[in-house]
Structure 1
Amino acid sequence: MNEYGVVLESGAVRFERLLPGPVERVWSYLVDSDKRGTWLASGRIEPRVGGAADLLFKHSEITGEAPPERYREMNDNGWPSRGTVTRYEPMTALAMTWPGEGEASSEVTFELVPEGEKVRLVVTHRKLAGKAEMANVSSGWHAHLGLLEDRLAGNPPRGFWSRIERLEAEYAERFADLPA
Structure 2
Amino acid sequence: MDRGSYFEYNGRPAVRFQRTYPHPAERLWAAVTDPAELAHWFPSTVRMDSHEGGKIEFSGDPNLEASTGTLLAYDPPRRLAYTWGGDELHFEIEPVDDRSCTLTLINVLEAENTAARNAAGWTVCLAELGKHVSGATAEGPHGESAEPWRPLYEEYVAAGMPAGAPIPGVSGDGS
Query: TM-score range with shorter-chain normalisation?
Result: 0.7 to 0.9
Which residue matches 2:89? 108
Residue 23 of structure 2 corresponds to: 21
Structure with bigger helix share is 1
| Alignment length (residue pairs) | 154
Mapped contact 1:88–1:94 kept (Cα < 8 A)? yes
- Equivalent positions of 1:1-180 (< 5 A) are 3-9=2-8, 11-40=13-42, 41-58=44-61, 74=62, 79-99=65-85, 105-116=86-97, 117-131=99-113, 133-157=114-138, 159-160=145-146, 162-176=147-161
CA RMSD between the two structures: 2.3
TM-score by length of structure 2 reads: 0.79
| TM-score under structure 1 length normalisation | 0.77
For 2:119 and 2:14, how far apart are their aligned partners in 1?
10
Gaps spanning 5+ residues in structure 1: where?
59-73, 100-104
CA deviation vs aligned residue, 1:110-142 (integer Å, no higher than 9, x gap): 0000112111000001133023x1111111100
CA distance in 2, matches of 1:136, 1:169: 9
1:176 deviates by 4.9
1:148 partner letter? L
Structure 2 spans left out of the alignment, 5+ residues: 140-144, 166-175
Contact 1:57 1:81 in 2 (8 A): no
One-letter code of the match for 1:52? K
Q: Decide whether the 8 Å contact of 2:109 with 2:115 is kept in 1.
A: no
The percent of aligned pairs where both chains have the same amino acid is 28
